[in-house]
Amino acid sequence: MEEAIQLASELGLNNAVEDQPDTDDLIARLQEIRPDWDWQETIDPISLSCEIPLSNISQQGIYNRAILIAAERSPYTKGLESELGMLQSVDESKYKNTCLGTWLSEYKNEAKGPDETQLLEVLPLNSEQRQAVRQAMSNQLTVITGPPGTGKSQVVTSILINAAWQGKTVLFASKNNQAVDVVETRVNALGPRPILLRLGKNHYQTKLAEYIASLLAARTTDEDKHQYCEHQNIHTQLQQESEKIDGEFQKLIELRNTVDQLEQHVECIRQVIGESVFHSFRSLDTKGLLEHQKNLHTAIDQADKYYQPFFVRLLWAFISKKRFLKLKQAAKSFEQIGSSIALPVPKEEPNQATIENWIAYSEHLKEHTGYILKIQEYFTRLDDLTTSLSLEELNIRKR
């Protein structure tokens, strides 16, 4: 411990924050003041050594290398540890019937789905913010997190407004006075009368008295009632339009995901059949293909002796010639289609000696047809996506 304290002092780590040495200076200084340490390489963070792989080094010492160590990060900051320590000294009776008490008692409270009650959107919300507001209105405990600038104040404001809209009372509290001031200003600026009453010391008491006095003196006029009904109708119309656009958002996202999945699948097919054949399948008449393919498959099955019932096999010598002729006719009808899909029919005459080749062709054709249908589905979905409004255009409509 004494060595560590002395080293920290010599390196300047005890200096004020603005006088703390840079990392490069720190390392250079460390090698200078401790020359007796086991330095195996000259330390230079800008030019790391890579002569011998780290895995081949067996001699103990200090090397000019960089390594990455994966470790679990503690979820507790010093501030959080301090606050949790303070909570330990609070009597349980003071928070037993609160959300905090429910959480600390490890009560398994099943989260409800988001409340589908129509929201009063006094501020523009994206889908995630809207979901957060709905969750907060329906669940006993909702945690909303996010870095600065992600709209947490908008979410809090919307929760307070919607709670008031539904006739609920809310205690909004924070250990940060500025955060409360921002939300209070934003909420009360939305209308002619305050909704959120700001409690606190000093000048907050005077402002609270003014709020209460103005509320007590306020009277509802016929004009107020008329404006209320008018704005309520406008809000209902906008809400319906917003829900319609949200539905289009969801469909567009699902369509994008479908196209992405199909694109990954058909990319493998593209590698197998080639670029030109791949694009030729886009405008192929699949209805005609499937109809002729079915006839050809049926003819091949009927020409396969081992695919027939017992009595047909028993009389095969008498009926096989007719079956092979039918297969030849079906193959003739399929020739042009087979060439168009880069899978020409076999050249040999259908007979008992060549039937295995025709059966193999039938299996290959089934696989090939599957490729074609998947490719056409991909292009159809891609066309739908191309002709749809973009997310940016939907956002403009949403505004």
Pair 303, 328: CB distance under 8 Å: no
Pair 299, 275: CB distance under 8 Å: no
Please tell me the predicted confidence (pLDDT) of residue 10. 83
Please tell me the predicted confidence (pLDDT) of residue 110. 59
Token readout for 298 is 């049926």
pLDDT, average across residues 252-275: 89
Classify 15 as helix, strand or coil. Answer: coil
Number of domains observed in the structure of the chain: 3
Beta bridge partners of residue 39, listed in sequence order: 62
pLDDT, average across residues 119-124: 81
Instruction: Please indicate, yes or no, whether residues 298 and 383 belong to a single structural domain of this protein.
Output: yes
Domain end call among 31, 56, 81 = 56
pLDDT, average across residues 203-222: 80
What are the distances in angstroms from CA 254 to CA 72, 242, 260, 394? 36, 18, 10, 15
- In the predicted structure, residue 82 carries a pLDDT above the cut 60: yes
Count of beta carbons in the 10 Å neighbourhood of residue 367: 10
Please tell me the predicted confidence (pLDDT) of residue 297. 93
* Containing structural domain, residue 32: 2-56
- Which of 55-59, 96-100, 267-271, 359-363 is predicted with the least confidence, judged by mean pLDDT? 96-100
Please tell me the predicted confidence (pLDDT) of residue 241. 84
- In the predicted structure, residue 237 carries a pLDDT above the cut 70: yes
Confirm whether 176 is domain-assigned: yes
Rounded-to-5 percentages of helix, strand, coil across the chain: 65, 0, 35
pLDDT, average across residues 135-149: 83
Q: Which are the contacts of 351, defined by CB distance < 8 A and separation ≥ 6? A: 324
- In the predicted structure, residue 116 carries a pLDDT above the cut 70: no
Confirm whether 62 is domain-assigned: no
Residues for the chain: how many in total? 399
Confirm whether 108 is domain-assigned: no
Share of the chain above pLDDT 90, in %: 22
Q: Which are the contacts of 376, defined by CB distance < 8 A and separation ≥ 6? A: 281, 282, 284, 286
- pLDDT band at residue 311 under the 50/70/90 scheme: confident
Please tell me the predicted confidence (pLDDT) of residue 18. 58
Domain end call among 150, 184, 217 = 217
- In the predicted structure, residue 109 carries a pLDDT above the cut 60: no
Instruction: Please indicate, yes or no, whether residues 284 and 371 belong to a single structural domain of this protein.
Output: yes
Please tell me the predicted confidence (pLDDT) of residue 114. 56
CA 13, 18, 24, 29 dihedral sign is negative
Please tell me the predicted confidence (pLDDT) of residue 19. 65
Instruction: Please indicate, yes or no, whether residues 210 and 279 belong to a single structural domain of this protein.
Output: no
**Per-position DSSP letters for 129-172, written without gaps between them:** HHHHHHHHHH-S-------TTSSHHHHHHHHHHHHHHTT-----
CA 121, 123, 128, 132 dihedral sign is negative
Confirm whether 305 is domain-assigned: yes
Please tell me the predicted confidence (pLDDT) of residue 363. 93
Instruction: Please indicate, yes or no, whether residues 371 and 292 belong to a single structural domain of this protein.
Output: yes
Quick: pLDDT tens for 361-384. Answer: 999 999 989 999 999 999 999 999
Give the separation between CA 62 and CA 60, rounded to whole angstroms.
Answer: 7
- Which of 12-21, 255-264, 325-334 is predicted with the least confidence, judged by mean pLDDT? 12-21
Confirm whether 22 is domain-assigned: yes
Mean pLDDT for the chain overall: 84
Please tell me the predicted confidence (pLDDT) of residue 360. 93
Confirm whether 342 is domain-assigned: yes
Confirm whether 67 is domain-assigned: no
Confirm whether 393 is domain-assigned: no
Pair 128, 145: CB distance under 8 Å: no
Quick: pLDDT tens for 276-299. Answer: 888 888 888 888 889 999 999 999
Quick: pLDDT tens for 164-200. Answer: 988 898 999 887 777 788 888 888 888 777 788 888 8
- In the predicted structure, residue 126 carries a pLDDT above the cut 90: no
Exposure letters 59-70 (e unless 16+ CB within 10 A, then b)? eeeebbeeeeee
- pLDDT band at residue 106 under the 50/70/90 scheme: low
User: Higher confidence at residue 14 or residue 112?
Assistant: 14
Q: From start to end of 165-271, where are the E strands? A: none
Give the separation between CA 132 and CA 158, rounded to whole angstroms.
Answer: 10
Please tell me the predicted confidence (pLDDT) of residue 285. 85
Instruction: Please indicate, yes or no, whether residues 290 and 375 belong to a single structural domain of this protein.
Output: yes
Quick: pLDDT tens for 8-27. Answer: 888 888 776 656 677 767 77
